[in-house]
Amino acid sequence: MIRVPRGTPVLTAEQMRAAEQACFDAGVSQEELMERAGTAVAREAARFAFGRPVLVLAGPGNNGGDAYVVARLLRQWGHDVIVAALGGKEAGAAGMMRSRWDGETVTLDDAEPRPVLVDGLFGTGMSRALEGEARKALHRLSQAAAFVLAIDLPSGFATDSGEDLGGAPATATVALGALKPAHLLMPALERCGTVLHADIGIPGESDICSLSRPHLVAPARDSHKYSRGLVLVVEGEMPGAARLSARAALHGGAGYVMLAGQGGGGNGPDALVHRSVESADDLQHLLGDDRISAVVIGPGLGRGERSQALLGVAIACEHRLVIDGDALTLLGRDAERRISGRTAETVLTPHEGEFGRMFDDGDGGKLDRTVSAARRICATIVHKGPDTVIAHPDGRVVMSGDSSPWLSTAGTGDVLAGLCGARMAKGNAHAAAEAVWLHTRAAALAGPAFCADDLIGRIPDAIGECV
């Protein structure tokens, strides 16, 4: 759960160091910054401790420096505090904070568990796998604690990728200055517990931000169905999937939704307009309609020759295009070659498996891989999952780590594809993020154990919160 103002900048470890340096250049000392960080964390620790004994873990770097500030303040405020230290340099701000601590200090190995644990072992400086005694002690002490508050990040997770380097979970995490990618990327995101944000006066500017509620405008008084956007959804071998996309587009704000395929009606609201498409030529003919503002292809498309032919026609058209599901698998390693030359806006919505089929995995975490793929393919990529990374070809990134796990049910991705189609129908640089926000919010409103159809019914309520 993220208790952070939406749209908060997300800074990598390197950007964080640069922002910190900008503060120093502006005349703020490192001690002052550390005091602010420690004070913010101590306030939260005091709030959650309810007078229970506190153990503060202090690592060798600045995360440890923050920890000594927390320990000192909690003690000043009357709490029973012991520090378990991993050692560290004597110099610098962290050394100074250590020297200002005059309470009880034990080694990490000797430390006995206490009900409240403040984890200040490692933060953004976590540079390699945590091993040996430090790892054992961290796990032993955190498992035995009733409440674990992590300073900046739970120790043992890579800041920029969220990779588990031997870390232990926290009940809550105070993100200092800005969110870091790890707060929004699995597996770290799950280990952060509730993320709280502490503004410690660090200017945080970044191309990456967390997902925020969009501002949507209600249809203008003189709007008509075409001015709101005609979305064409291509039907394939599993017509139900395309119908989910089409219905989501209808409720997602499109003025007109056309379902093109062989289904010839089937179930679905009467508001959906069906067009018979037997062959790729039929689709090409239909796509000649310049009132079409966006096309969605992929949900339930199938992976045979006919599907490949339909996809070829869709890619060649000059309309905005959402590519999802089977169409992504059909693109496979050819994705870059086939998509990068499109002139109209293209959004790809892969889950992890589909992403892996299109792009060489290479090194790096989900964030880096998605950003790099979006640049290469010159399209927006919505890389889905419990953590969703939306990367635009111009480098803008929106990250969402706070969606309902009940979304892990068949057809919810089809709903998202339809929403993307509806949001981008009028030309909109924020379409993908709007679609993901509405999808996430609709899921939250749907509660537990919903199915993809139920999700669609919640989209109007989600939109209602944005207009």
Ligand X SMILES: NC(=O)C1=CN([C@@H]2O[C@H](COP(=O)(O)OP(=O)(O)OC[C@H]3O[C@@H](n4cnc5c(N)ncnc54)[C@H](OP(=O)(O)O)[C@@H]3O)[C@@H](O)[C@H]2O)[C@@H](O)CC1
Q: Which residues are annotated as a binding site for K(+)?
A: 63, 119, 155
Beta carbon of residue 137, minimum distance to ligand X (angstroms, whole number): 12
Beta carbon of residue 93, minimum distance to ligand X (angstroms, whole number): 7
With CB under 5 to 8 Å by kind, the binding choice for 53 among ligand X, ligand ADP, K ion, none is none
151 part of the interface to K ion, by CB under 5 A: yes
408 part of the interface to ligand ADP, by CB under 6 A: yes
Answer for which of 229, 325, 393, 418 binds ligand ADP (CB under 6 A) is 325
The C-alpha atoms of residue 14 and residue 80 are separated, in whole angstroms, by 36
The C-alpha atoms of residue 53 and residue 345 are separated, in whole angstroms, by 57
- Could you give the string, one character per residue 2-41, with x where binding to ligand X holds by CB under 6 A and - elsewhere? --------------xx-xx------------xx--x----
Answer for which of 169, 261, 393, 413 binds ligand ADP (CB under 6 A) is 413
351 part of the interface to ligand ADP, by CB under 6 A: yes
With CB under 5 to 8 Å by kind, the binding choice for 403 among ligand ADP, K ion, ligand X, none is ligand ADP
- Could you give the string, one character per residue 52-91, with x where binding to ligand X holds by CB under 6 A and - elsewhere? -------xxxxxxxx-------------------------
Q: Length of the chain, please?
A: 467
With tokens 């809550």, the residue in question is 172
Which residues, numbered 90-129, are part of the site for K ion (CB under 5 A)? Answer: 119, 123
Give the three-state DSSP class for 69.
helix
Q: Which of 219, 283, 276, 222 is nearest to 252 (CA)?
A: 219
154 part of the interface to ligand X, by CB under 6 A: no
Which amino acid type is present at position 169?
P
Angle, helices 92-99 vs 62-76, to 10°: value is: 30
Answer for which of 54, 98, 145, 152 binds ligand X (CB under 6 A) is 152
The C-alpha atoms of residue 102 and residue 399 are separated, in whole angstroms, by 42
44 part of the interface to K ion, by CB under 5 A: no
With CB under 5 to 8 Å by kind, the binding choice for 202 among K ion, ligand X, ligand ADP, none is ligand X
Kindly tell me which of 17 and 333 has the beta carbon lying closer to ligand X.
17
The C-alpha atoms of residue 354 and residue 330 are separated, in whole angstroms, by 10
411 part of the interface to ligand ADP, by CB under 6 A: yes
The C-alpha atoms of residue 146 and residue 51 are separated, in whole angstroms, by 13
> What does residue 287 show for φ and ψ, rounded to 5 degrees?
-70, -10
Beta-strand ranges (E) seen in 256-395 are 256-261, 273-276, 292-297, 320-323, 346-348, 380-383, 388-391
Answer for which of 35, 163, 345, 414 binds ligand ADP (CB under 6 A) is 414
Answer for which of 342, 384, 396, 458 binds ligand ADP (CB under 6 A) is 384
171 part of the interface to ligand ADP, by CB under 6 A: no
- Ranges of H-type helices in 56-206: 62-76, 92-99, 132-144, 188-191
Q: Which of 289, 284, 184 is nearest to 234 (CA)?
A: 284
- Whether a cis peptide bond, with omega within 30° of 0, leads into 187 is yes
Positions touching ligand ADP (CB under 6 A) are: 325, 351, 384-386, 388, 403-405, 407-408, 410-414, 416, 439
Positions touching ligand X (CB under 6 A) are: 16-17, 19-20, 33-34, 37, 59-66, 122-130, 134, 151-152, 176-177, 202
